Amino acid sequence: MADTYLNFVDGTWTEASTSETFENTNPADVNDTVGVFQRSDAEDAERAVEAANAAKDEWAATPGPERGRILRETSKRLADRKDEATTALVREEGKTEPEAAGEVQRAIDIFAYFGEKAADIGGTVKSSSSQDTRLYTVDEPLGVAALITPWNYPIAIPAWKLAPALAAGNAVVFKPASLAPNVARILVECLEDAGLPDGVVNYVTGPGSAVGSTFATHEDVDAVSFTGSAKVGDTVHQQATEDQKRVQLEMGGKNPVVVTSSADVEEAADIAAGGAFGVTGQACTATSRAIVHESLYDEFVDAVVDRAESLTVADGLDGADVGPHVSESELESTLEYVDVGTREGATLETGGERLTEGDHANGYYVEPTVFSDVAPEMRIAQEEIFGPVLAVIPAATYDEAVEIANDVEYGLSASIVTNDLRESNAFVDDVEAGVVKVNQQTTGLELHVPFGGMKASSSETYREQGDAGLDFFTISKTVYVGY
């Protein structure tokens, strides 16, 4: 019998007012129920906002170093529960165990980082042009921040929103994705155990149409930070900006790796395969396109196919290289794109089949997939797939490769593999992406530098992580003191 988990509102674990629940199952084995969670509605979301609104002033008045102490203690509590959180993440989302452990460690590190940064929040002193005048700024929290997070990084993304929001002195209402709410619950328990005051963080599970929409439109919410699909993000933006809330959106990607004529093919194949097939391709920064100089094209295709075919697809707790899709609908979407690519005339070099025999019988597994002979205008070269599918596109020149890389609606992450210093520096200038890598995977982020996209990948308002993460959750006053 699976455990039933509750919402966390005003410092109390409580049932939803609906008395309804939903099951969360293991994508590696749908007969394994991870837990039963509250199917909350607008009334539950409103109670969470009321609790945060009541708690915000006291938390804002708490000295930054004390807020930081609670965040550092949260980091320690999560570190103590790392194995538990790792297993929970694998079972609900499908990552491999090393991938899940790395994500949990990222959350641990984020809370430790912002625990230290909390003491630095304050403002700046400037020289006035007038005599006998002090001129300075004061950074203050916004008030109540609503955080709406996706299933694909179910603890790292909540961490990189929660930690700066709390460090800056905001109270929070938080809706995790219904496909992966359990590891987020563990994080909230760590915050509670660390001594966070009642009402400062409120965790509510349930459908976005009820909980997320209420958060986005509620008059007592001052800021909304959302990560997810572009379609849902557009809706959140429209709802939240009707009363001029501050909004931060990070959404999809169609991320390229450009392989130039000077590149080492084996290195390029490793970089492309790692970015395309890691985390089952279920990352907004995953490599979706390899744009390869025609002189290396055939050799690259052979090399990346070899890597795809060498990967073990299995339960993330069983030593797999690639885990399952998170849900049947996500799996069906990937399989549909495989069909689309074949119909469009691309060559299916390897993969693309659902695995259904033996240990794969009860999970959402698909083989890592490589298409060659892909034209830039094909749907598999234009649309986000969110699965382990790599489209390999030929290019005759560096300029053509960059033109193809930029000719999509998204602009999140991009990489170039080259041994030419001029090309590497030119790419940084030329590519339309918020994250640019040279001789590295499109996936993988440092926690102390800004993260965000361009074009349809982002609202292009505020970046996340590092000092930029704090900027979103604070507002400045400028103070003139004559004496």
Q: What is the pLDDT of residues 29-63, one digit of tens each?
A: 999 999 999 999 999 999 999 999 999 999 999 99
Over residues 451-459, the mean pLDDT reads 96
Domains of the chain: 7-251+458-482 (3.40.605.10), 255-438 (3.40.309.10)
Q: How far apart are CA 370 and CA 346, in angstroms?
A: 10
pLDDT at 1: 78
Compute CA distances 446 → 107, 136, 379, 435, 471, whole Å. 12, 31, 31, 11, 17
Half-sphere exposure of 142 (CA within 13 A, CB side): 22
SS3 content of the chain, % helix, strand, coil (to 5): 40, 25, 35
Catalytic residue among 250, 349, 384, 423: 250
Over residues 304-316, the mean pLDDT reads 98
Q: What is the pLDDT of residues 366-404, one digit of tens each?
A: 999 999 999 999 999 999 999 999 999 999 999 999 999
The confidence band for 264, taking pLDDT boundaries of 50, 70 and 90, is: very high
Q: How far apart are CA 281 and CA 324, in angstroms?
A: 10
Q: What is the pLDDT of residues 142-156, one digit of tens each?
A: 999 999 999 999 999
Q: Please give the single-letter amino acid code of residue 418.
A: T
Q: In the annotation, is 250 catalytic?
A: yes
Q: What is the pLDDT of residues 230-256, one digit of tens each?
A: 999 999 999 999 999 999 999 999 999
The answer to whether residue 13 scores a pLDDT higher than 90 is yes
Q: What is the pLDDT of residues 410-428, one digit of tens each?
A: 999 999 999 999 999 999 9
Record the pTM.
Answer: 0.96
Q: How far apart are CA 442 and CA 275, in angstroms?
A: 6
